[in-house]
Structure 1
């Protein structure tokens, strides 16, 4: 399936902020186009994914390569993320104290339930994994720290949406409707159901909505002192995790663990 081109980086400036620097946004759009699944990309592919002209992309990839943020692979005439980003990523993760709070609880949940448990935060229309634990089984989801999953169709993304404020929800609705016009009615219905479910039960679900082979529960909470929102998911291959188990075991356990994380995060501040 051909990937839909992302909106131009200009769309990121939703407030019309005059302090917003477009060239920085464009460079970041190029870097964010790389994923664990598509770790090597050429200028043409980057142009398609960012919505930027190929000439602009060529100048950006040249500059980012000179800075060490991209590496050029002559054999393929394509780029991959460079080692210059590693210290930045490590520093960013080290500064997230919620990871230290969440890690022991996530590890225990993964071991006791046999599910993969991840912690993430919103990045655009995706959820970015910032911590992850897999169960000690031969079968586990092939995702990890740095993975991105779509906000609108995953349990983690729906949980984030459920605890977001009205202004953020409205902005997300507009962006999702533009990015996924064909699937927007389906996405909207899932998000509305998630808001009600999270309020009533403390968790959301995605039963094959993003990937038909993956079932998961998600829960989210706001960090203290305006530190943003984090979400946690607990998922497994569909054949291991049916809807009834999600609703009656995994979801309630995840909700309880997330409430514990929220309480501990408050104590750390």
Structure 2
């Protein structure tokens, strides 16, 4: 029986006659690879995408021929190929917001001894498009290109808080069948985060995604309608809830507003 696709998989939009499902399935394969899982076999790809094993085998062969995957005979598995590199580099190079945000993010990371990241929504995940680690041995093991869940992270909750009603409804409709019995609790967390973000300019995730990680996040709406979000996080023992609420949340909110202002959006409230 065909397995349900993962949250990151591209679904065929109902009634969209211009949508090419074969291309979408190819991107499903590429999106299955992550920094923490850089080598995957056809069986693992089938499990992650929900596609039939035979379809995955044809797609991985085609993507290898095109240079987007590299086959590793020693393991009988694949990794992303060099053909995928220019696409990601070009996309990041075109994001001028990264150049505006990076110095402010670096300063925040150094002053708080916490990791600071900038992300954009990708399905039901947030994708890191910029990342700065502090000069400490306990920095979080995440990096540029990492993906984190939207629903339970500070960055994702901040994004949700800034999204319009239609997008929030779409996010919730996609999350509910995937989360099952956990959905009421997670939905409540999203709604609480949206209320906090509206009142204080930031959202929190004190161990909701990873019990060992505490973080605060703030959304950055851009003039073109794009929404980015920034987070500031560290191991829980470094950011107890009281520091998260009193210091880290307000500071990441101030930096987010400064980036928004530099990008031509709202007025800055940063120092």
Which category describes the TM-score, using the shorter chain as reference length? over 0.9
Report Cα offsets for 1:64-114 as digits up to 9, x if no partner. Answer: 000100000111111011111111111111000110110110000000111
Shift of 1:222: 1.6
Report Cα offsets for 1:17-67 as digits up to 9, x if no partner. Answer: 221110111001110011111111111111111010000000000000001
Cα–Cα, structure 1 residues 206 and 225, in superposed 2: closer, same or farther, change >3 Å? same
Quote the Cα distance in structure 2 between the aligned partners of 1:55 and 1:205. Answer: 43
Matches within 5 A, 1:232-247: 232-247=230-245
Report Cα offsets for 1:188-242 as digits up to 9, x if no partner. Answer: 011000110000000000011000000000000221123x110000000001110
Matches within 5 A, 1:23-34: 23-34=22-33
User: RMSD of the alignment, in Å?
Assistant: 1.6
The answer for the alignment partner of 1:157 in structure 2 is 156
Shift of 1:13: 3.4
SS at match of 2:181: coil
SS at match of 1:142: coil
The answer for the alignment partner of 1:136 in structure 2 is 135
Shift of 1:162: 0.4
The answer for the alignment partner of 1:47 in structure 2 is 46
- TM, length-normalised to structure 1: 0.94
The answer for the alignment partner of 2:258 in structure 1 is 260
Point out where structure 1 has 5 or more consecutive residues left out of the alignment. none
The answer for the alignment partner of 2:216 in structure 1 is 217
Cα–Cα, structure 1 residues 93 and 8, in superposed 2: closer, same or farther, change >3 Å? closer
- TM, length-normalised to structure 2: 0.94
Quote the Cα distance in structure 2 between the aligned partners of 1:105 and 1:135. Answer: 13
Cα–Cα, structure 1 residues 8 and 143, in superposed 2: closer, same or farther, change >3 Å? closer
Aligned residue pairs total 263
Point out where structure 2 has 5 or more consecutive residues left out of the alignment. 266-271
